[in-house]
Amino acid sequence: MERRLLLVLGVLGAVCGIALILALSGAEPPRTRPPVEAAPPHSIAPPPETEPGAKKESGTLKGRVLSGKTGEGIKGAKVVALSPHLEPARSPDEIPTWGGLIPRKTVYTGENGYFSLEALPPDYWSLWVEKRGYAWTTVPRAKFLEEHVIELFPACSVRGQVVYPDGFPAPGVRIEYHVQGTHSEVFSRYQLEKYYTTTREDGTFQYEDLPPGKFTVEVYPPDHLPFPWRFEPPLEPGENRDLGVHKLDDGFSITAKVVWRETNEPVPDIEVAVRPIADPMPRTNIGQRRRTDANGIARFKGLGGQFAERPQFLVAANLANGPVLPDEGGTHPPGSTVTIYLRKEGSVKGFVERPNGDPLDQFAVDLEATGHIARQLRDFGENGKFHVFQVPGGRYKLHIRHGNLVDKEIDIDVEGGEELDVGKIRLEEGAQITGAVRRSNGRELEGVVRVNLGIRVKNPAGVEGWREAGRSYVQQDGTFLFKGVAPGTYGLWPESIENPTATTEPVDIVVRPGDTALQKDLVLWSEGILDLRFLDQVEGSMRQVVQPPTYLVETATGKEVRWFGIGTRLRPGSYTVYVEIPDAQGVPRRYKAREVEVTERPPRGQEGTGQDPIEIRLFEVRDGS
């Protein structure tokens, strides 16, 4: 009986096991939630790489735009194909930066919401879809082979009002609306102008056609503290939210008074700047600027610094030649009245014209003191006007410089406290010097090549040199151009920036009055290499000796060059080598050693392929053999 019972239980167990196996084999695999990839907030990933050797072809982005509420097709929706724009790298080591999304092609949906963007070149494409009354949406990483079904939901809107601390409406206040989270923030940069506005006369503002989700509203009043207006929860599809009333904060205040030190008279129309220091919040480090009124007073309110326990403010008068700090030390607590003392020194103003009488834009003004000790002053003029403040009394040379016109130089005398008006100054058209640069060995120019224009001068020791009068960079076709060159005698020579060389001698060029265009082609000489080895008999044996004074005379030009070693820069060509050797009485005498050929220095990385050292036996030179 027990055996039969065990047999029956065994059979039942086997049947249950087989049934369980069959059930498991026919069941669906367990479902897992697919991973959701969030696009980065400030960049877009590059397109997926294709297989090596795969041919990239143009394609079509197509699909249908539906109402997320009713499921029906939406006609007339705007569909824009966007591709990322990369700012090119400025150097081989720099990585191109992402410059935003660029609209490349736009279509509107037809009947039942269908659209097709055809003949798109291979690129990383995204879609922007919008229609009045609906919230815009995006399709990142859109693919050619897929049928894109895009749902639009009813648009959201927000409204609110900004008022002053006393409750009166604040018109003209800048309001910024920022979309937060995932790829929406990236795509909202495509149409930033839709999210900036200003309050109306009654202080109200309103945004429409907004996407649902998280958002931020920021208020930037001109005379009060900026304030970020963050809101939770996120907007729901079709929600119209009233943000209520935002009251501005007066912040801190400071009063600045600018007076002349000598007379204590107020200084009107001087710009004063105030900014907070020791403030851990960078956005509050933006100061305010005001010009003094007729009484020399500038009042500031709505200053930041509220995040520092004891805020301090830097107060300075911004003059043409730089900020002038007050005698009190420059930093002050809120509510201070600061007096800024200015020296009643002279000033120089004037008006600069083009040759045709039009005002000159963007020119440099320099005051160079002559005959007395004074700082060198500089200003930059605009629309023909310039005004240099705080000029100590004395004699100056006034230099007016503009890149395309002849520089002007005027001698002036400035009295203490005087405002000197030099009147109208008209610059003249100068000559244009053009030409082309070629390599002496016939090869193409490599790297950056600059052409220098200089004037020959002597230093106090009587040594001649060159004072720079201008520079021009050679274009890809080898040409260069100088504008506004005044009459005179100049030196002109090219120079390789990557491989500077002293073998190219300046070429004289004379600009005569009335010359308008001159041409001078230049040769960029290659650098030569020469390796000399000197031997002499010492105590009956021949030894290598330290090089004696050695001179090389260039056969073509007769120019003498002192040779110091293989690092001496030489122009390739024929030379005669001379050495100085003491005679029997110990008097140095110059001997002609031999003729040599200076070869061109090999390119970088091939320095070991030059000529063998040239031996000069000094005892043979002395003997005349």
> The domain spanning residue 415 has which CATH number?
2.60.40.180
Residue 397 lies in a domain: yes
CATH number of the domain at 588, please.
2.60.40
Give the per-residue pLDDT at 566: 76
Domain identity same for 610 and 533: yes
Domain identity same for 284 and 300: yes
Give the per-residue pLDDT at 350: 94
Domain identity same for 548 and 570: yes
* Cα separations in angstroms, 366 against 29, 318, 353, 357, 427: 83, 19, 17, 22, 15
User: Which among 53-62, 298-307, 487-496 has the top mean pLDDT?
Assistant: 487-496
Q: What does the pLDDT average to over 398-425?
A: 86
Q: 């039009």: which residue's tokens?
A: 358
Classify residue 253 as exposed, middle or buried by CB count within 10 Å of its CB (0-12, 13-18, 19+): middle
- The residue range of the domain holding 178 is 156-247
Q: 426, 371, 436: which is closest to 400 by C-alpha? A: 426
Give the per-residue pLDDT at 37: 35
Residue 202 lies in a domain: yes
**Which one of 327, 342, 357 terminates a domain?**
342
Looking at per-residue confidence, does 47 or 562 come out higher?
562
Give the per-residue pLDDT at 483: 86
Q: Which residues pair with 496 in a beta bridge?
A: 449
DSSP state of 417: T
Q: How sure is the predictor about 322, in pLDDT bands with cuts at 50, 70 and 90?
A: low
Residue 570 lies in a domain: yes
Number of domain units in the chain: 6
Q: How sure is the predictor about 55, in pLDDT bands with cuts at 50, 70 and 90?
A: low
Q: What is the pLDDT of residues 351-378, one digit of tens each?
A: 999 888 899 888 889 888 887 666 677 7
* Cα separations in angstroms, 245 against 159, 222, 241, 483: 10, 18, 13, 60
Gap between the Cα atoms of 339 and 344, Å rounded: 15
Looking at per-residue confidence, does 124 or 281 come out higher?
124
Amino acid identity of 106? T
CATH number of the domain at 238, please.
2.60.40.10
Give the per-residue pLDDT at 611: 64
Domain identity same for 337 and 356: no
Residue 124 lies in a domain: yes
Is the pLDDT at 318 greater than 80, yes or no?
no
Residue 18 lies in a domain: no
Give the per-residue pLDDT at 324: 64
Q: 119, 93, 94, 114: which is closest to 104 by C-alpha? A: 119
* Cα separations in angstroms, 21 against 8, 9, 14, 25, 30: 20, 19, 11, 6, 16
**Which one of 395, 426, 457 terminates a domain?**
426
Give the per-residue pLDDT at 193: 56
Q: How sure is the predictor about 424, in pLDDT bands with cuts at 50, 70 and 90?
A: very high
Q: What is the pLDDT of residues 29-45, one digit of tens each?
A: 333 333 333 333 333 34
Looking at per-residue confidence, does 420 or 283 come out higher?
420
Q: What is the pLDDT of residues 204-225, one digit of tens each?
A: 999 887 888 888 888 877 666 6
Name the average pLDDT for the chain: 78
Q: What does the pLDDT average to over 336-343?
A: 84
Is the pLDDT at 53 greater than 50, yes or no?
no
Of 12-16, 236-240, 473-477, 548-552, which range is least confident?
12-16
Residue 13 lies in a domain: no
**Which one of 205, 227, 247 terminates a domain?**
247
Domain identity same for 337 and 357: no
Domain identity same for 540 and 568: yes
Q: How sure is the predictor about 15, in pLDDT bands with cuts at 50, 70 and 90?
A: very low
Structural contact between residues 617 and 535, judged by C-beta atoms closer than 8 angstroms: yes
Looking at per-residue confidence, does 546 or 339 come out higher?
339
CATH number of the domain at 461, please.
2.60.40.1120
Domain identity same for 146 and 193: no
Gap between the Cα atoms of 522 and 499, Å rounded: 17
Looking at per-residue confidence, does 464 or 30 come out higher?
464
Residue 420 lies in a domain: yes
Domain identity same for 551 and 498: no
DSSP state of 327: T
Give the per-residue pLDDT at 508: 93
Give the per-residue pLDDT at 612: 77
Q: How sure is the predictor about 25, in pLDDT bands with cuts at 50, 70 and 90?
A: very low
Is the pLDDT at 111 greater than 70, yes or no?
yes
Residue 500 lies in a domain: yes
Give the per-residue pLDDT at 228: 67
Structural contact between residues 121 and 56, judged by C-beta atoms closer than 8 angstroms: no
Structural contact between residues 236 and 210, judged by C-beta atoms closer than 8 angstroms: no
Sign, CA torsion 606/608/611/616: positive
Domain identity same for 464 and 402: no
Is the pLDDT at 46 greater than 50, yes or no?
no
Domain identity same for 190 and 221: yes
Neighbours of 248 (CB within 10 A): 21
98 token code pair: 């992402």
| Residue % of the chain over a pLDDT of 70 | 76
Q: What does the pLDDT average to over 487-507?
A: 83
Of 24-33, 216-225, 416-425, which range is least confident?
24-33
